[in-house]
Structure formats: structure tokens, C-alpha cells
Homo-oligomer: A and B are copies of this chain.
Amino acid sequence: MRGTQDQREAIITAAAEIFSRFGLEKTTMEDIARSARKSKSALYYYFKSKEEVFAEVIRKEIAGLKHAIREAVEREDDPYYRFRTFVRTRLDYLNKKADQYTTVKDEYLKHYAFINSLTEEYSNWEVSTLKGIVEYGRDRGLFEVTDTAAVSEALFFALKGLEYPWAINYSREEIARHVEVLIDLLLRGISRR
């Protein structure tokens, strides 16, 4: 039946909301159940454990992030803009998430790390997307890069740092400004002279 999937979906949606507010450990099954208007035991009918609920929530968020990035990047022709768009979309999405996570800045980090440890698959996807962009720029004679693999991993690491700032007191604008500088700096670093 569709029903089962729908119920799972509904629970995941409710859970996402709660997790984003209180983090993994502080959120109780009770909380989720209440918010999903189900009994606690019903959750266990659909999911094996709290961790499994959490994992589904994350999986869904990652899918959303991937989708957003892919869409945006493909719309750009210019390699420079493709890279900029990659970084910006990524950041916008994370910022949006960060808004939900205001109470739990600290927990968010765990959260986010869990994403990664949960699925390094996503990291790989990011690296290879970056590689695509770099190669695209190189083929157009704009970027001067020999080892595209190495460079895209380096870029990946550099961008990883962008996941950090919400945890502390940077305003949205400050972050945006810093990001632009970082983009310029990185592009300058890989551009042909």
C-alpha cells in the first residue's frame, strides 16, 4: 500500500522539525510521536529505532541539497559562474537549514557531522561535481590545472569550512561577504595567468 510510505513520510516530516530544533539526543521519541500525532509505539511500527528515524531525516535533507545544487549549476554556462553558483547554492541551502537550527547551534555540528559520517557518499558526490566544474573550465582554457582530482579535493576541503560559521556569531551578510572573497581567492588560485 501507499499508506505505509505516506505514514513514514509524515513521521519523517514531523521528526525533521523536532530534530532541527533539539538535535538528536535531546529529541525524544515521545516528542516525535506527539508531533506526528501518533503513539510512541506506532513509531516503532514504522522504524526500528530513534536512530533510524534520524537517518531517514538526514537522507531526505541530503537528497534535497543535491537536487538544489544540481539544478543551479547546470543552469550556468560560464565556468567561473558555475563554481560561484555551486558554492552559493550550497551555502544558501545550509543557511536555510541553519535557520531551523538556531537553538542548537552546537548540536547542529554533530548533526552535520553525522550527515557526513552517515553518508560519505554525499561528499564523494560533491568532489566529483567540483571536478566536473574544474575540468569544464580547463577545457575552455580558463583554468590552469594539471591534477584536477587533487584540486577538486582541495576545493572540497576549503568549502567544508563553510559549514562551520553558523555555529558562531556571524551575520548572514558577513558570511556572504567572506564567501565571495573566498570564491575570488580560490578562482584566482586556479585561473590561468
State how many copies of this chain the complex holds.
4
Q: Are A168 and B106 in contact (CB under 8 A)?
A: no
Given contacts A106-B117, A112-B113, A185-B186, contact A157 B165 (CB under 8 A): yes
Q: Are B123 and A114 in contact (CB under 8 A)?
A: no
Taken residue by residue from 19 to 48, chain A's Cβ proximity to chain B (1 for < 8 Å, 0 otherwise) reads as 000000100000000000000000000000
Q: Is A94 an interface residue (CB 8 A)?
A: no
Write out the residue numbers on chain B whose beta carbons fall within 8 Å of the beta carbon of A110. 109-110, 112-113
Which single member of B107, B151, B164, B193 contacts A181 (CB below 8 Å)?
B151
Least CB distance, A23 to chain B, in whole angstroms: 9
Besides A112-B112, A159-B161, A161-B161, 14 more A-B contacts (Cβ < 8 Å) are A105-B117, A109-B111, A109-B117, A110-B110, A110-B112, A116-B167, A120-B169, A154-B182, A154-B185, A155-B185, A157-B164, A160-B160, A187-B189, A188-B188
